[in-house]
Amino acid sequence: MKKLTTIIVSVIAFSGLYFSSYAKEIPYTEDDRERLIRVEVKLEEGLKGSNQRIEGLEKRIEEGERSLNQRIEGLEKRIEGVERSLNQRIDGLQNLLYIVIGAIIAQIIGVVGFVLWDRRTALEPAIKKNKELEERQNRVEKIVKEIAIRNPEVAEICKNLGLL
């Protein structure tokens, strides 16, 4: 099979060389020259048109690029504005938090102060009453001792009760 393929390819190649030697050279005429010039002109016009379209496309791409850059810059400005606004809100909330914490601490201090003041004012009458009762008891004891000195029966009763 390989041999057959090789033979066929060889025959075709040699026959091409053989027949090319019989080819005539065609003379170059004035019509051919004019036709070639027209083809060149059309080709140049086509190239100019293609170049113009490419330039138009480049301009449109550049305009689109500028427009896109402007939109991106606008978006960046909006993002910066939103960021500033968000930072201001966070700062406001932070300040509010400080105020609330300060108010809570002030309330706690106020309650502790009130408790201490109330305790002092509530205990003051009891302490005063206690002092009065102690003074009265001391006077009563003095009276009982003096009576016990004058009366032996009362002295005996006071000794039994542990007053003397």
pLDDT digits (tens, 9 = 90+) for 1-53: 667 677 776 667 666 555 555 556 667 788 888 888 888 888 888 888 889 99
In a domain, 40, yes or no: yes
Question: How many domains is the chain built from?
Answer: 1
In a domain, 18, yes or no: no
In a domain, 39, yes or no: yes
- Dist CA 42 CA 50 (whole Å): 12
- Dist CA 150 CA 158 (whole Å): 13
- Dist CA 54 CA 48 (whole Å): 10
In a domain, 53, yes or no: yes
In a domain, 145, yes or no: no
Contact present, 150 and 159 (Cβ < 8 Å)? no
- Which residue range(s) make up the domain with 98? 32-125
Q: Would you call 162 helix, strand, or coil by DSSP? A: coil
φ and ψ at residue 105, rounded to 5 degrees: -65, -40
**What is the reported pLDDT for 10?**
66
Angle between helices 30-150 and 152-161 (to 10 degrees): 150
pTM of the predicted structure, to 2 decimals: 0.44
